[in-house]
Homo-oligomer: A and B are copies of this chain.
Amino acid sequence: MIIVMKVGSPEAEIERLTDELQTTWNVTPEKIVGQHKVVIGLVGETADLDPLQLQEISPFIEEVLRVEKPFKRACREYRHGEASEVAVPTPAGTVYFGEHHPLVITAGPCSVENEEMIVETAKRVKAAGAQFLRGGAYKPRTSPYAFQGHGESALHLLAAAREETGLGIITELMDSEDLEVLSNVADVIQIGARNMQNFPLLKKVGAQDKPVLLKRGMSATIEEWIMAAEYILAAGNPNVILCERGIRTFDRRYTRNTLDLSVIPVLRSLTHLPIMIDPSHGTGLAEYVPTMALAAVAAGTDALMIEVHPNPAKALSDGPQSLTPERFDRLMEEMAVIGKAVQRWPQQQPVLA
């Protein structure tokens, strides 16, 4: 349920109202300050509340609306239609993810292999215009005998790359035991597709402060995905970015997954959360990544995550879907053309140094 306040409602009245809701009406109010209006979201046992009765508790209430969807805090209506933005402080300044901000580019290797490769890759993608470096320290692998990531030592290498370049760091958390050490380095904590419904892990990243990148499970419905975000929001962390990375379908002969770009308009209508597209996992083959990246930009994604490796043929994981730095440079130029056409290309920062 949400309460939309009239324009110009006094702060003190909103305060009073919030208190009354909590104490007398037994619901949890959350104040959301929009561009023009203040909205108060109500979570809890709202099923029996009467909107008309609620309406009367303050003359500054414009209207009281029920959120019919199973997701409440993630629902677009919960912010009365307004998009949310996720602000991430990085050494080079705060980067904003959201519908009303320029496209944010994340790039880097599947896994952190050694200091030279990660720092070198970071410099290259930074020079090409990326704001974030991706790189796995802990890797979910189908086989227990496959390379599982260098773990904590890889986190130190990410920190070095961050220091060297000023890029923000996005890296995956698989085990809540690693949350503390990973948080020291990560600017955004990634929850991978396989853990999208690892509810204890969602609760834990919901109970801390770093923004969370939530990848869609490989056969998760859009509703299940938003409900997973709702777990994080409900635990107190409002900073969630949703990342599509391809779904599993009947045809896996030419692409590893089927990148579902229709999530862009669908999520836009359902939720206020920012959207990222990962065409690297989405297709699984480097030659198809640029085309799908361009399509995602035209469709209005808020961010992209692209795998780049200095030598894909020798990558310890996901080589076939990684771009070379040279191909990534060219892709940035191609994306700039579309990005400018749809007015989402960062004007303030030079694309190629």
Q: Which residues of A contact B (CB under 8 A)?
A: 43, 70, 72, 140-145, 148, 174-177, 194-195, 197-200, 203, 218-219, 221-224, 227, 230-231, 234-235, 247-255, 258-262, 264-266, 269-270, 282-283, 287-288, 291-292, 294-300, 337-338, 340-342
Q: Which residues of B contact A253 (CB under 8 A)?
A: 221-223
Among A142, A198, A264, A337, find the residue whose CB has the most chain B CB atoms closer than 10 A: A142
Q: How many copies does the complex hold?
A: 4
Among A174, A198, A291, A295, find the residue whose CB has the most chain B CB atoms closer than 10 A: A295
- Cβ of A76 to closest chain B Cβ, rounded Å: 13
Give the CA-CA distance A353 to B110 in the complex, in Å: 50
Give the CA-CA distance A239 to B342 in the complex, in Å: 35
In the complex, the chain B residue whose C-beta lies closest to that of A206 is B144
In the complex, the chain B residue whose C-beta lies closest to that of A289 is B265
Known contacts A198-B194, A295-B296; A266/B248 CB under 8 A: no
Besides A144-B227, A255-B266, A298-B299, 11 other CB < 8 A contacts? A70-B142, A176-B177, A198-B198, A223-B254, A247-B258, A250-B250, A262-B283, A265-B291, A291-B299, A297-B298, A338-B342
- Cβ of A206 to closest chain B Cβ, rounded Å: 9
